Amino acid sequence: MSDSQSSPKADVPKTDLSETAVQRRSLLKGTAGILAAGVFPAVHAQDKPVLRYLGTAVNQDKAIAEKFKADTGITLQYVAVTTDDVTKRAVTAPNSFDLIDTEYFSLKKIVPTGNLKGISTKRVKNADKITSLFTTGTVAGKLVGDQGTAPKKVIFLEGEKSKVFAKAPTEWMSLIPTTYNADTLGIRPDLIKRPISSWAELLNPEFKGKAAILNIPSIGIMDAAMVVEAKGIHKYADKGNMTKAEIDLTIKTLIEAKKAGQFRALWKDFNESVNLMASGEVVIQSMWSPAVTAVRGKGIDCVFQPLKEGYRAWASGFGLPATLSGAKLDAAYEFINWFLDGWAGAYLNRQGYYSAVLETAKAKMEAYEWAYWMEGKAAAQDIKNPHGEVIAKAGSVRDGGSYEQRMGGIACWNAVMDENEYMVRKWNEFVAA
Partner 1 sequence: MSTVVAPSQAPAGAVARGLPAWWQAAPFSAVFALFFVLPLLLVLMVSFWHFNEYELIPGFTLHNYAAIFEGCSQRTEQGDLCVTLSTYLSTLKFCALVWGITLMLGFAVAYFLAFHVPSAGLQTGLFVLCTVPFWTSNVIRMISWVPLLGRNGLVNQTLQGLGLTQAPLDWLLYSDFSVVLAFVHLYTLFMIVPIFNSMMRIDRSLLEAASDAGASAWQTLWHVIVPLSRTGVLIGSIFVITIVMGDFVTIGVMGGQQIASVGKIIQVQTSYLQFPLAAANAVILLAVVLMIIWGLTRLVDIRREL
Given the complex with partner 1, which of 286 and 349 has the nearer CB atom?
286
State the maximum Cα–Cα separation within the chain, in Å, rounded to a whole number: 74
Burial of 29 (0-12, 13-18, 19+ CB in 10 A): exposed
Q: Distance between CA 433 and CA 344 in Å, rounded?
A: 44
Q: CA geometry: angle at 247 spanning 246 and 248, to 5°?
A: 90
- As measured in angstroms, the least distance from the Cβ of 317 to partner 1 is 18
Please state at what angle helix 420-432 crosses helix 244-259, rounded to 10 degrees.
10
Of the listed pieces 178-186, 275-283, 298-306, 382-390, which binds partner 1 according to CB under 8 A?
275-283
**DSSP strands (E only) in 292-407:** 303-305, 311-321, 354-355, 383-384, 390-392
- As measured in angstroms, the least distance from the Cβ of 428 to partner 1 is 5
Q: Does 281 bind partner 1 (CB under 8 A)?
A: yes
Q: Does 84 bind partner 1 (CB under 8 A)?
A: yes
- DSSP classification of residue 59: G
Binder among 53, 104, 105, 267 for partner 1 (CB under 8 A): 267
Collapsing DSSP to helix, strand or coil, 216 comes out as coil
Of the listed pieces 18-26, 277-285, 320-328, 343-351, which binds partner 1 according to CB under 8 A?
277-285
Q: Does 192 bind partner 1 (CB under 8 A)?
A: no
Per-residue string for binding with partner 1, 15-54, x by CB under 8 A? ----------------------------------------
Within residues 53-82, the interface with partner 1 by CB under 8 A covers 82
Binder among 215, 285, 351, 355 for partner 1 (CB under 8 A): 215
Q: Distance between CA 380 and CA 366 in Å, rounded?
A: 11
Binder among 12, 91, 327, 380 for partner 1 (CB under 8 A): 91
Number of residues that bind partner 1 (CB under 8 A): 42
- DSSP classification of residue 153: H
Q: Distance between CA 400 and CA 409 in Å, rounded?
A: 9
**DSSP strands (E only) in 22-135:** 50-55, 75-80, 99-103, 116-117, 119-120
> Of 41, 25, 7, 14, which Cα lies nearest the Cα of 329?
41
Of the listed pieces 41-49, 133-141, 276-284, 349-357, which binds partner 1 according to CB under 8 A?
276-284
Per-residue string for binding with partner 1, 220-259, x by CB under 8 A? --------------------------------x--xx-xx
Residues binding partner 1 (CB under 8 A):
82, 84-85, 87-88, 91-92, 108-110, 112-113, 209, 215, 217-218, 252, 255-256, 258-259, 263-268, 275, 279-281, 416, 420-421, 424-425, 427-429, 431-433
